[in-house]
Each structure stands twice: as structure tokens, then as C-alpha cells.
Amino acid sequence: ASCLIRPRLLVHRPHPVTVCGFVLMSFALIQTVFVDPDLLGYAVGRYVTWLQMLVFFHLAQPLLAAPALRRQAIYAYIAGAALTSALLLSGSGLNAAMMEKGRTALGNLDPNVQAAIVGLAGVWLLALLLQPSLSFARPLTWLAWAILALLISASLLTGSRGGLIALCLGLVATTLLAGGLRHPVLALLFVLVGLAGLGLVVTQNELMMDRIRQSVEAGDTAGRDYIFASSLDLWWHRPVAGWGLGANEGALGGYTNTTLRDMHSIYLYALTAGGAVGAVLLGELLWTSVRSAI
């Protein structure tokens, strides 16, 4: 609707991230035609999903250029993540296959993705709470701290070890950077108390503790060490142009005795799908993102 009223929101020069992302996946799709045409239908499905994300990013860019809209968008994201967390904790609409493994996610969503969604909302909310303009005397501030606890609890409930590491690093970095450098001792104390509280919550979750224990004592990575090594071996067979979109998953399936197998890494996915060409495009995409953030 916004684009119909103001076409300039749609018709503007694409961001370098959009260009790199489009070229990367288009190159990988074309490569699929030459490597494994039987998987072209599956590859097109992956391609369409990627295009949807790129179009959304292209539309969101000018909309979020206004600081007021940007802040409202963050509020909306946090609110959506809080609702998601409430559903996770109440056990509504959970992924049945993941429940059998003692993990939680909504619908058919992957628990690791779910942890990233609610964890990011928690990091953003903490950044807002640490703004000097907020006072502890305001009731809404206390409500926001309760929502932060809700988001962190939901992230831990997914059983994602990567999500736990990312959440800890995000919360620590946010605390230190959001004014913490001006009061390093106070910021460090806040970080230690926060990590202790997080550790206390984790110890109450038996399934998460078991997963952490297996990781530390037995080196359990849920098969990722083998998948990563196999992905690199796969890349060595087609190092320049890769295997193509979807065809790389089919080829990796030969290593794991499955029809298709995901790399569980966006870096290895780009490397196997587009080879060295894809790696260069992904590197440019990431560098542009980092440069924009800085």
C-alpha cells in the first residue's frame, strides 16, 4: 500500500547488499541447470524465498530511514517476539517433531532460528533499557525488564546452544557499548550479575544442561563437525563455480545417506552453491553490512 501511494519507495537504486544477494543466488540457480537439472524445482523454491527477503529489504530501506519509523519498527519486532515467547512458554502451536527431541519452536520453524529471533529482540530491548533517558521509576520500564526476562527464557527453551552463546555475547556487548564504557566498573558489575542470573536460569533447564554437558564432555556437535568437513570436501570437487542452488544439498546428502542435507552454515552454503564466485559475493555482502553498521 505504501508503494502504491509513493512509488519512490519501490523505484530507487538498490542497496549493494541487495545486488550482491541477487547476483549470488541467481548465479547459483543457473549453475543448478548444468549440475543437477532434476533439482531445479527445489532450487527455484529456495530462490523465491531468497527473492522475498531481498524485496522486503529493498522496501524496508527507505521506510526505516526515518528515525521515528525505525524505532517503531524495533518496538513492533520486540512486541512480536514477546508474543512468540509467550506462545513458546505456554506450549501453544509447537513444532511436534522438535518436541520429541525436547526442544521448542513454533510451527515448522527450526529451534536455532527461533532462538535467533527472540534473542535478537532481547538484545535490542536491553539496548533501549540502557538509554539514560529511561528511569527506573516508570512502571513501563519495569514491564520492559519483565519482557526481557520472558525473551531470554524463551530463547533458552529452544535448546539452541549457538543461540545461548550468541545471546550471551550480544547482552555483554550491548551492556558495555550502551554507555557502559563511561562507567566500566558499573558496567562490569551489571554484566557479571546478568551472566550469573542467566546461568541460574540455564541450570533450571535439564534438557539445555544435558546438551551443554554433551558438548563439553563428549564434544557433541549434533553432527555438524562431519557436515562441515563434508561440505568443504564437496567444495573441493567444484571450487570455482560450485554445485548450484539446491544441488549442493543433494550432493551433501550423498555424504549423510539422505536425499537432501543442509550445510547448517550460510558461509558453507554459499561456498558450495556458488564456489569461489559465491564466496566473493557473500564476502562483499557481509563487508557492506558491517561497513553500514559502523
Most confident listed range (98-102, 120-124, 202-206): 120-124
Q: Which residues, in sequence order, are CB contacts of 250 under 8 Å at separation 6+?
A: 36, 39, 259, 260
Radius of gyration of the chain (CA): 21
Average confidence score pLDDT of the chain: 82
Q: How far apart are CA 31 and CA 117, in angstroms?
A: 32
Phi, psi of 106 (to 5 degrees): -80, 145
Q: How far apart are CA 157 and CA 90, in angstroms?
A: 11
Asked if pLDDT for residue 247 goes beyond 70, the answer is: yes
C-alpha cell belonging to residue 183:
562507567
Higher pLDDT, 194 or 120: 120
Alpha-helical (H) ranges within the chain are 2-5, 16-35, 40-63, 67-90, 96-99, 111-129, 139-157, 161-177, 184-203, 206-217, 224-237, 247-256, 266-293
C-alpha cell belonging to residue 255:
555424504
pLDDT in tens, 130-171: 776 665 567 777 888 888 888 888 888 887 888 888 888 888
Reported as a pLDDT band with limits 50, 70 and 90, residue 77 is: very high
Contact 57, 91 (CB under 8 A): no
